[in-house]
Amino acid sequence: MSSLILNGHEVRDRIFADLARRVEETGRRPGLHVILVGDDPASAVYVRSKGKACEKVGFTHETHILPADISESSVLDLVARLNADDSVNGILVQIPLPAHISEEKVQRAVLSEKDVDGFHPENLGRLLAGHPRFVACTPLGVQVMLEHYGVTVAGKRMAIVGRSVIVGRPLAMLMTLKGSAANATVTICHSATSDLAGVCREADIVVAAMGVPGFMTREHVRQGAVVVDVGINRVDDPGAKKGYRIVGDVAPEALEDWASAYTPVPGGVGPMTIAMLLRNTWDAMVLQQG
Chain contacts with ligand GUN (rule: CB under 6 A) = 92-95, 117, 137-138, 166, 273
Is 94 among the catalytic positions? yes
Using the minimum distance from each CB to ligand GUN, give the nearer residue, 95 or 177.
95
How far apart are alpha carbons 249 and 234 in whole angstroms?
11
**Catalytic residue (choose from 94, 143, 204, 249):** 94
Mind spelling out the 3-state secondary structure of 97-125? CCCCCCHHHHHHHCCHHHCCCCCCHHHHH
**Catalytic residue (choose from 114, 115, 117, 229):** 117
Using the minimum distance from each CB to ligand GUN, give the nearer residue, 259 or 272.
272
Using the minimum distance from each CB to ligand GUN, give the nearer residue, 6 or 37.
37
Using the minimum distance from each CB to ligand GUN, give the nearer residue, 112 or 138.
138
- The residue nearest ligand GUN at its CB is 95
Closest distance to ligand GUN from the beta carbon of 219 (Å): 28
Q: Contacts for 63-68 with beta carbons within 8 Å, 24 or more apart?
A: 63/33, 63/34, 63/35, 63/36, 64/33, 64/34, 64/35, 64/36, 65/36, 66/35, 66/36, 66/37, 66/38, 67/37, 67/38, 68/37, 68/38, 68/39, 68/98
Closest distance to ligand GUN from the beta carbon of 241 (Å): 24
How far apart are alpha carbons 128 and 34 in whole angstroms?
26
Is 117 among the catalytic positions? yes
Closest distance to ligand GUN from the beta carbon of 93 (Å): 6
Closest distance to ligand GUN from the beta carbon of 19 (Å): 18
* Other Cβ atoms closer than 10 A to 111: 17
Using the minimum distance from each CB to ligand GUN, give the nearer residue, 43 or 187.
43
Is 289 among the catalytic positions? no
∠ CA 192-142-108, rounded to 5°: 70
* Residue 80 identity: A
Closest distance to ligand GUN from the beta carbon of 107 (Å): 9
DSSP 29-57: --EEEEEEES--HHHHHHHHHHHHHHHHH
Active site residues: 50, 94, 117
